[in-house]
C-alpha cells in the first residue's frame, strides 16, 4: 500500500504511515503534469489546498482508495467524481477551529485599538496618538453571523472582555445558543444593535454580499467589521462607502474578494482597513493537528477500522446502490426543499417511513434528509456520516417512526415534518415510483406530483384567473424559462400553490417583483442543484 503526500504537511505524517506499514512518498509542491503521470501508483493521496484533485486526476488514479484533506474545505477536490469512482474523501473540519477563532479575536482587538496600523506610522517616523484613538471592548455588543464551532469559540473568548454576544445562525436553537451565552436574533437586528460584527458563514448564493451597500442604512455609526470566513461575504465596495461616510469605523479581514489580490484594490489603500493574507489556519499547532489527524484517519480507513472524517463514506455504501439510491436521493431532495422554506432555525424534525423500501433503508434516510436540510448552510461539511451529530450539536430534536403501509395508497412513502424556530411548521411527503424515480407528492396540505428535475419556484396565491400569466410574464421579462408546471389547490380556502421548474436561477429582485403581484401570498426559490 502506498500514499502520496502532494502538499506541505508536518513530516511526522510520513512516520505515522510508515509505522502503520504503509509506504509514503513526500512530494510537496508536485506539478500537475507529474501528478497525472504518477497518481496511478498510489492507494492514498494527502493534500492541503494547493493540489487540485480534479476529474482528470481521478481518472488517472486507477488504484486510489482515499483522498485525505489536511484541513476543512474540500473545494479543491472533486468529491462527486471521487464518490462515483469509489474513492473515499476525508477531511479534518475541527483541526483549525481554535486557530481561526484566535485570529478573529486578534483582528477584533486590532481594529478596536489600531495596533498594526499605528505601528506602520511608527515605522514611517510618525507619532500620532490622537489619530489612532481606539475603542474599548468592555460592554460593547459583538454580533456573530454564523454560530458553528468557530463562531462559538469567538463568542467564548470575547465574553472574557465583557462583550455582550448576539448572533445569528439558521439552524442553532435558542436553547443551544443560550447555553453558550449568545442571544439569537436576525441578521438585520445584529446589524442594528452591534458595535462590532464578525462573519463565520460559508460563501453561497445566500451569503454572497451578506453585508452590502444596503446594510449601511441599518448599522450603528462607527461599527467595526471583521471577516475571517470567505471573501465575498462582505462587499468591499460597501466597506469603502461606509468608511468614506463614517458609517463604518474600521474593517479587518483575513480574506479578500480576489485571492491573492492584485494589490491595486481600493480596499487595500484605506488606512482604517487591516488585511491579513488568509492566515486563519496558519499556526504551527493547527497545521500539525490537521496533518496528524488526517494521517490517523486514513490509516484507520485503510485498515477498515473507522471512517471518521469521511465526506462521502456512506455514499460509497448506499448512494450508488441501485436499490437504495432512489430512496437516499428522495430523502435528500425533500430535505433540500424544507431547508429553504424558512430562514429560521429548526426545533424539531420528524421522519415517518412507510412501506418496505423506506423501512429497509431507514438508517441512512435520516442522515440523507438532514444532509439536504443543512446543505450549504454551514462552514462545516454536513454529510451522510456527520449529519445526525451536526443536528444534535445545533440543538435540533429529531425522531423517526416506521409504518407498515405507506400514506395515501402509495407503495412507499417518506414523510418529513419540521418545526421552525419561528413557530411555523411545514411538511413534505415523497414516494419512489417504479423503484427508480423519487417524487414530491405533498407539500404542506397541497397534493401534487413533482419530479426533481430542476430548481423550483414555489408561490402560493389566491385561486383566481390570471395569476399564472402575471408571474409568467415577470419570468419572461427576466429571460427565465419555465420547464414544467404543477398546481395544487385548496377549494375550501380558495388558495393555490403553483410549482414551476425553472431553467435558471432567480434573484431576490425577481422574487420581490413576484411578491408584489396582487394575489400572490408568498414565493420561494428552491435550489435543487
Catalytic residues, by residue number, are 230, 259, 278
Question: Are 159 and 181 spatial neighbours (Cβ–Cβ below 8 Å)?
Answer: yes
SS3 content of the chain, % helix, strand, coil (to 5): 35, 25, 40
What is the DSSP secondary structure assignment for residue 426, as one 8-state letter?
E
Angle at 34 (CA atoms; ends 30, 35), nearest 5 degrees: 70
Q: What's the start-to-end Cα distance of the chain, in Å? A: 37
Angle between helices 325-341 and 362-373 (to 10 degrees): 30
Angle at 199 (CA atoms; ends 506, 397), nearest 5 degrees: 80
Compute φ and ψ for 461, nearest 5 degrees: -150, 165
Integer angstrom CA distances of residue 451 from 7, 124, 334, 461 = 43, 65, 11, 22
Q: How far is CA 457 from the centre of its chain?
A: 22
Residues in the chain: 529
Q: What would the 3-class secondary structure string for 350-378 be?
A: EEEEECHHHHHCHHHHHHHHHHHHCCCCC
Grid coordinates representing 193?
444593535
Question: Are 273 and 252 spatial neighbours (Cβ–Cβ below 8 Å)?
Answer: yes
As a whole number of angstroms, the distance between CA 254 and CA 274 comes to 8
Within 10 angstroms of residue 16's Cβ, the number of other Cβ atoms is 18
Question: Are 379 and 144 spatial neighbours (Cβ–Cβ below 8 Å)?
Answer: no
Question: Are 301 and 66 spatial neighbours (Cβ–Cβ below 8 Å)?
Answer: yes
Q: What would the 3-class secondary structure string for 459-519 be?
A: EEEECCCCHHHHHHHHHHHCCCCEEEEEEEEECCCCEEEEEEEECCCCCHHHHHHHHCCCC
DSSP secondary structure letters along 6-70: -S---THHHHHHHHTT-EEEE-TT--HHHHHHHGGG-SEEEE-SSS-B-HHHHHH-SS--EEEES
Amino acid at each position: 500500500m502506498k500514499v502520496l503526500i502532494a502538499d506541505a504537511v508536518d513530516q511526522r505524517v510520513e512516520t505515522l504511515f510508515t509505522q502503520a506499514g504503509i509506504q509514503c512518498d513526500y512530494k510537496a509542491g508536485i506539478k500537475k503534469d507529474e501528478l497525472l503521470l504518477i497518481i496511478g501508483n498510489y492507494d492514498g493521496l494527502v493534500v492541503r489546498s494547493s493540489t487540485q484533485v480534479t476529474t482528470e486526476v481521478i481518472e488517472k488514479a486507477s488504484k486510489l482508495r482515499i483522498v485525505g484533506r489536511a484541513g476543512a474545505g474540500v473545494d479543491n477536490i472533486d468529491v462527486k467524481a471521487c464518490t462515483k469512482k469509489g474513492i473515499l474523501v476525508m477531511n479534518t473540519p475541527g483541526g483549525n477551529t481554535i486557530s481561526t477563532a484566535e485570529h478573529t479575536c486578534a483582528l477584533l482587538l486590532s481594529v478596536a485599538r489600531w495596533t498594526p496600523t499605528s505601528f506602520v506610522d511608527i515605522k514611517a517616523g510618525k507619532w500620532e496618538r490622537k489619530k489612532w484613538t481606539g475603542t474599548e471592548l468592555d460592554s460593547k455588543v459583538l454580533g456573530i453571523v454564523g454560530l458553528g464551532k468557530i463562531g462559538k469559540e469567538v463568542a467564548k473568548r470575547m465574553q472574557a472582555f465583557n462583550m455582550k454576544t448576539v448572533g445569528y445562525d439558521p439552524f442553532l436553537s435558542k436553547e443551544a445558543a443560550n447555553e453558550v451565552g449568545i442571544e439569537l436574533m436576525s441578521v438585520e437586528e445584529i446589524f442594528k444593535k452591534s458595535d462590532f460584527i464578525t462573519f463565520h458563514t460559508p460563501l453561497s448564493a445566500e451569503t454572497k454580499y451578506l453585508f452590502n451597500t444596503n446594510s449601511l442604512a441599518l448599522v450603528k455609526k462607527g461599527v467595526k467589521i471583521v471577516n475571517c470566513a470567505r471573501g465575498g461575504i462582505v462587499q468591499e465596495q460597501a466597506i469603502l462607502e461606509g468608511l468614506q461616510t463614517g458609517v463604518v469605523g474600521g474593517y479587518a479581514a483575513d480574506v479578500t474578494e480576489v485571492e491573492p489580490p492584485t494589490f491595486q484594490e481600493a480596499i487595500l489603500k484605506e488606512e482604517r482597513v487591516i488585511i491579513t493574507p488568509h492566515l486563519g489556519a496558519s499556526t504551527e499547532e493547527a497545521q500539525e493537528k490537521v496533518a496528524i489527524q488526517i494521517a490517523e484517519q486514513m490509516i484507520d480507513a485503510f485498515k477498515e477500522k473507522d471512517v471518521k472524517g469521511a465526506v462521502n463514506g456512506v455514499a460509497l455504501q448506499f448512494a450508488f446502490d441501485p436499490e437504495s439510491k432512489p430512496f437516499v436521493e428522495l430523502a435528500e431532495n425533500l430535505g433540500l426543499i424544507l431547508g429553504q422554506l424558512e430562514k429560521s432555525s429548526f426545533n424539531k424534525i420528524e421522519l415517518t417511513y412507510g412501506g418496505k423500501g423506506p423501512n429497509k433503508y431507514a438508517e441512512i434516510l435520516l442522515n440523507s434528509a438532514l444532509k439536504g436540510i443543512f446543505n450549504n448552510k454551514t462552514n462545516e461539511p454536513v454529510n451522510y456520516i456527520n449529519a445526525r451529530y451536526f443536528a444534535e450539536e445545533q440543538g435540533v430534536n429529531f425522531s423517526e417512526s416506521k409504518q407498515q403501509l405507506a400514506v395515501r395508497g402509495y407503495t412507499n412513502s417518506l414523510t418529513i415534518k419540521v418545526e421552525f424556530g419561528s413557530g411555523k411548521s411545514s411538511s413534505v411527503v415523497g414516494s419512489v415510483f417504479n423503484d427508480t424515480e423519487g417524487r414530491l407528492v405533498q407539500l404542506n396540505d397541497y397534493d401534487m406530483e413533482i419530479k426533481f428535475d430542476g430548481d423550483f419556484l414555489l408561490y402560493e396565491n389566491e385561486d383566481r384567473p390570471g395569476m399564472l400569466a402575471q408571474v409568467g410574464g415577470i419570468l419572461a421579462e427576466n429571460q427565465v424559462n419555465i420547464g414544467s408546471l404543477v398546481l395544487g389547490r385548496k377549494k375550501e380556502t380558495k388558495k393555490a400553490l403553483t410549482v414551476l421548474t425553472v431553467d435558471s436561477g432567480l434573484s431576490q429582485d425577481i422574487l420581490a417583483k413576484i411578491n408584489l403581484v396582487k394575489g400572490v401570498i408568498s414565493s420561494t426559490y428552491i435550489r435543487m442543484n
